Amino acid sequence: MNASEVLDVTLLSLRVSLVATLGILVPGVALGYVFARLRFPGRALLKALVSLPMVLPPVATGFLLLVLLSRRSLAGAWLEELLGRNLVLTWWAAAIASAVMSFPLLVLGAEQGFASVPRRIEQVAATLGASPARVFLRVTMPLAARGILYGAVFAFARGLGEFGATTIVAGNLSGRTATLSIAIYDRIESYREAEAVLLSLVSLLVAFAITAAAEVFLRGRATR
């Protein structure tokens, strides 16, 4: 295994996780806002539904996704029609699996971010002549940013480590769908211990870099 292979696996992992996080950013933040601010019938049920991927065995989530994305399902057939190909066993499937698994973390972070914004501050902004949209963009969002960012970072990190659901829907196609965690598992299975160690160290490095960067960035925001 040469350096370019390691780099490929790492970049694929980062790409899968990044696409997954970006994909869930808008719906995740919106749902976080809804949970933090609105009381409506069925809220508890919806919250339970959103956090399902956290408690369901990842393999089960992966299998359900596989069924959903396969051309036998209505959604899968429609998606295949739309895109001209099936997503199963592509890196897009890995991204979708990551997105589903990371979604609860992002929603949770965003919800806490919005819940931490005092209503009084928003009310003052309104009495100063700011429209609801301006209050949201200039006051609510900046004050909730910390929670949203935390949610996004952990969603991204969770996506990087995703294994169970990803391996079911994306498989283990070297260079195409094999993310870091899948590649590590593959090397262990085939007794290539040195490569497994190397890839694990790369994972460690990437994970540490992300959490450290987030801490430094958030600290910077807090003291500005």
Partner 1 sequence: MSSFRLRARYPGFALDAEASWEEPCTALFGASGSGKSTVLESLAGLRREVSGEIVLAGRRVDALPPHRRGTGWVPQDAALFPHLCVRGNLEFAARRVHEQRALKDAIAALEIDGLLERRADELSGGERQRVAIARALASRPRVLLLDEPLASIDRPLRARLLPFLERLPERTGVPVFLVTHDPLEVLALAQEVLVIESGRIVQQGAPRSVFASAATFGALPTLGAENRFEVRVVARAAGTLEVETRGGSRLSMVRVEGFPDPEAVAVRGEDVMLAERDPGRVSAQNVFAADVLAVEPLGEQLLVDFAPVGAADERWRVKITPRARAVLSVEPGRRLVLLVKAHAILPCGRD
Close Cβ partners of 121 (under 8 Å, ≥ 6 residues apart): 139, 143
Interface residue with partner 1 among 1, 30, 126, 201 (CB under 8 A) is 126
Q: What is the footprint of partner 1 within residues 104-123 (CB under 8 A)? A: 118, 120-121, 123
Interface residue with partner 1 among 99, 106, 125, 157 (CB under 8 A) is 125
Cβ atoms of 126 and 214 closer than 8 Å:
no
**What sections of 128-190 are H helices per DSSP?**
132-135, 141-161, 164-170, 180-189
- Binding pattern to partner 1, positions 135-174, x when CB under 8 A? x--xx--xx-------------------------------
- Dihedrals phi, psi of 95, to nearest 5 degrees: -65, -40
Judged by beta carbon, residue 71 or residue 219, the one nearer partner 1 is 219
Query: Residue 131 interacts with partner 1 (CB under 8 A)?
Result: yes
Judged by beta carbon, residue 42 or residue 129, the one nearer partner 1 is 129
Which DSSP category does 90 fall into? S
- What angle in degrees, to the nearest 10, is found between the helix axes of 3-37 and 91-115? 40
Judged by beta carbon, residue 31 or residue 117, the one nearer partner 1 is 117
42: left (phi over 0), alpha (psi -120 to 50) or beta: left
CB of 141 to partner 1, least distance (A): 10
The residues that touch partner 1, with contacts defined as CB under 8 A, are 118, 120-121, 123-132, 135, 138-139, 142-143
